[in-house]
Structure 1
Amino acid sequence: MNSYILDNSLLEEFKQALSDHDDFLINTYSNYNGKNLWSLICSAKDWLSVSVNGLPYIDLTHAHDDFRSLNVLQLIMTYDIVLQSIEQLLRVFEMEYTLKNDSSVFNAAIPDDAYFAQIRACFGAHPVDLRIADGTKTTNKYFASWSSDISNSGDNGDYSVFLYSNNPNVVQPISFSMSFANIHEFIVKRYSLLTSMISVIKKKNGIFIEDQRLQEIGHSSDVVEQLQILIRENSIRIGEGEGYHYDIQTLIELFTAPQEFPERERQEADQYLNSLHLLVNELYDALQSMTFSENAVTQGHLIHSRSPKFKGLNYDLEKVFEYLNNPYFRADRVDYHLRRLISEGLLPSYVSRQTDKLDLHLLLLARLTVNEKKH
């Protein structure tokens, strides 16, 4: 219905750039000089989506004059949302607004931004409370008539209003018109700034990665202390609770489990914990090199083990892990699943709900890993 639309592929490219670099963006802009600018980025992205995806459905040819006038206002206000979103994003990413003083579209005595603001005001934003008639502020007040097709006024453009002043000495009415093609060209130029914004996001992320690679992560011979160093670095380099946080936290819990079980199981646990040093080293290397992908850590299966021998126990394992990791899980529901794992030889007979959760987690992963190696 409406041909004055915006390129959706550019918006999708911008959204993909946000998604591809979300760890960096969230970590950097969630608290940027004391302000949560990530919220602003998300808001701008959402309203750009609403605007770009909604533009094709604005009916500028409706048969009813008043309905059509409101749709013209809807078009202008949608363009204004795009403009505001772009301006805010430029501020967030500390980019110069190169079109601030541009007047190449409307060729008026004032910049295009100011002239567009006049169009917005006259055609419905606040038509009964105007301080300007041609984009230049005066002491007079002006009031716009209803908007109508240009064919009804004999003026140039697509739509026009008549402006009346509260000053009886002003020659009136003043005809004020606008062209759909012009306001479309105006917003396309500003919307196209997303292209350079995408490049800036990638560049900023690249600079951050290189800076972090130059910052050497501390070493410690104590594995728990080393893991505590890594979890702090993970927060700095990726974000609090993001990236490798869960894996590192799991390792800390496994290495600090009290091991209140018989000697035989202690030996199994020690053997398993010894194998985890490979994973600790991989996590160190991944964080140091700023590499965040599944391929960066090949030993992750050691704490996410699912032995094929116990394929028939997947549901029971799922519930036990939920009991271990979800504080809101009803503890009494795990008894049946623990008995199932004991009966199949995956857990020793003395395990129960009274077993320390860290010990239970350690025993379970140690047994799963041993059986995984056998297969």
Structure 2
Amino acid sequence: MKSKNLYILDSSLLEKFKQAVSDHDEFLINTYSNYNGKNLWNLICSAKDWLSVSVNGLPYIDLNHSHDDVRSLNVLQLIMTYDLVFQAIEQLHRVFEMEHPLKKDDSVFNEAVPDDAYFAQIRACFGAHPVDLRSADGTKSTDKYFASWSSNVGGSGDYTVYLYSNNPDVVQPIPFSMSFAKIHEYTVKRYSLLSNVVSVIEKKNGIFVEEQRQREIERSSDVVEQLQLLLKENSIRIGDGEGYHHDIQTLIELFTAPQDFPEQGREKVAKYLDSLHLLVDELYEAFQSMTFSEDGLAHGHLLHSRSHRFKDVFYDLGKVFEYLNNSSYPLSMVDYHLERLIGAGILPPFVSLETDKLDLQLLLLARLADDIK
């Protein structure tokens, strides 16, 4: 669809902000989901969403519609969209405890009140609450005013309303005009502050990373104790339940499985458990250095096999893992899937529905990891 509005905002700045939030979302969630008792992460997401709606929707506001009433509403839509941008930027400054540099700026409208107050007056007159105005120009007043419909006919700007006073002595309506170029300039100045927000996010994340690197993680010769320490560090450094939480929890389960099965089975999983120490060491180094690869852990395949040898029983594998991870999973079909996996050589013949879940998980993962060597 061809753009119907020339008063738009640079979408590349929005994309930089969205990318900064995406790149540092673990830090932002961990820090701001409970910041002094308030979930400010939700506020960050809301601001991002409405900035996206505003910036991407602006080009399609039709300021040249043939119908006067529709055009008047579309002018209001433009103003309210600009206001959404302003409000989002202001809220982001509050979240990140940034000083707002344009609070008292009056360089755009050059009126008796700061630009923020004057823009609020434009918003009110042109549709936010035109039948309940407390000022004719943004300054304090004891009179109340009521705006006419907005029009591009008459007045000194692009669009004009006429303000009628509730004071019987004031006979003549007061023309109140606004310029598209001016309200656009006002909004661009505030929207450009988003680059400062991006810089602050990156700076705060950098400070957090360096602080964590300087804080040495405790070492333990007991692998389960070490994993419990890493689980705590995962919560601190990435977020509770986030990052490698599930992997570490799985490792604890593997190392604490009772191994209540024949000796032959224990011999086979011993080698697998020994190899998992490499993954534990890798997790330690990742947390200590605060370096997390986009490609995942080098030894992550020990928990997440990508082998395609058993593609004929992928469905059965999925169902058995669902049974392992869901306490309410129905047992009626588990035996069937176990038999299929035994037949495929993934599980040993002694496995049954009575096999301890931790042991079953250990046997499964050990076999799948062994297959990709």
Q: Give the TM interval when normalised to the shorter protein.
A: over 0.9
Q: What code does the residue aligned with 1:262 have?
A: P
Which one of the candidate residues 46, 53, 56 is aligned to 1:53?
Answer: 56
What is the Cα deviation at residue 95 of structure 1? 1.0
Q: Does 1:274 align with 2:274?
A: yes
CA distance 1:294–1:103, shift in 2 (3 Å): closer
Structure 1 Cα separation of the partners of residues 123 and 104 of structure 2: 18
Note if contact 1:156-1:177 (Cα within 8 Å) is conserved in structure 2.
Answer: yes
Q: What code does the residue aligned with 1:130 have?
A: L
What is the Cα deviation at residue 300 of structure 1? 1.3
Secondary structure class of the residue paired with 1:160:
strand
Between the aligned residues of both structures, percent identity stands at: 74
Structure 1 Cα separation of the partners of residues 127 and 145 of structure 2: 13
Which one of the candidate residues 13, 32, 56 is aligned to 1:10?
Answer: 13
How many residues align? The count is: 370
Note if contact 1:129-1:142 (Cα within 8 Å) is conserved in structure 2.
Answer: yes
Structure 2 Cα separation of the partners of residues 266 and 211 of structure 1: 42
Secondary structure class of the residue paired with 1:247:
helix
Structure 2 Cα separation of the partners of residues 129 and 305 of structure 1: 66
After TM superposition, the structure 1 = structure 2 runs for residues 279-318 of structure 1, keeping only pairs within 5 Å, are: 279-295=279-295, 297-318=297-318
Gap runs ≥5 in structure 2:
none
After TM superposition, the structure 1 = structure 2 runs for residues 21-60 of structure 1, keeping only pairs within 5 Å, are: 21-60=24-63
Q: What code does the residue aligned with 1:316 have?
A: D
Q: How big is each residue's C-alpha offset from its partner over 1:9-51, in whole Å with a ceiling of 9 and x where there is no partner?
A: 2111111111111111111110011100000011111111111
Structure 1 Cα separation of the partners of residues 294 and 192 of structure 2: 35
Q: Name the structure 1 match of 2:219.
A: 219
What is the Cα deviation at residue 68 of structure 1? 1.0
CA distance 1:354–1:306, shift in 2 (3 Å): farther
Structure 2 Cα separation of the partners of residues 70 and 358 of structure 1: 63
Structure 2 Cα separation of the partners of residues 32 and 250 of structure 1: 30
Q: Does 1:241 align with 2:241?
A: yes
Q: How big is each residue's C-alpha offset from its partner over 1:100-142, in whole Å with a ceiling of 9 and x where there is no partner?
A: 1111110111100000000001111111111111110111111
Structure 2 Cα separation of the partners of residues 347 and 362 of structure 1: 10
Structure 2 Cα separation of the partners of residues 307 and 331 of structure 1: 27
Secondary structure class of the residue paired with 2:130:
coil
Aligned CA-pair RMSD: 1.5
Structure 2 Cα separation of the partners of residues 165 and 344 of structure 1: 86
Q: Name the structure 2 match of 1:109.
A: 112
What is the Cα deviation at residue 330 of structure 1? 2.8
Q: Does 1:91 align with 2:94?
A: yes
Q: Name the structure 2 match of 1:353.
A: 353
The normalised TM-score by structure 2 is: 0.95
Q: Name the structure 2 match of 1:20.
A: 23
CA distance 1:308–1:45, shift in 2 (3 Å): closer
CA distance 1:156–1:304, shift in 2 (3 Å): same
Gap runs ≥5 in structure 1:
none
Structure 2 Cα separation of the partners of residues 320 and 232 of structure 1: 29
After TM superposition, the structure 1 = structure 2 runs for residues 147-166 of structure 1, keeping only pairs within 5 Å, are: 147-149=150-152, 152-153=153-154, 155-166=155-166
Structure 2 Cα separation of the partners of residues 113 and 310 of structure 1: 65
Note if contact 1:282-1:296 (Cα within 8 Å) is conserved in structure 2.
Answer: no
Q: What code does the residue aligned with 1:64 have?
A: H
The normalised TM-score by structure 1 is: 0.95
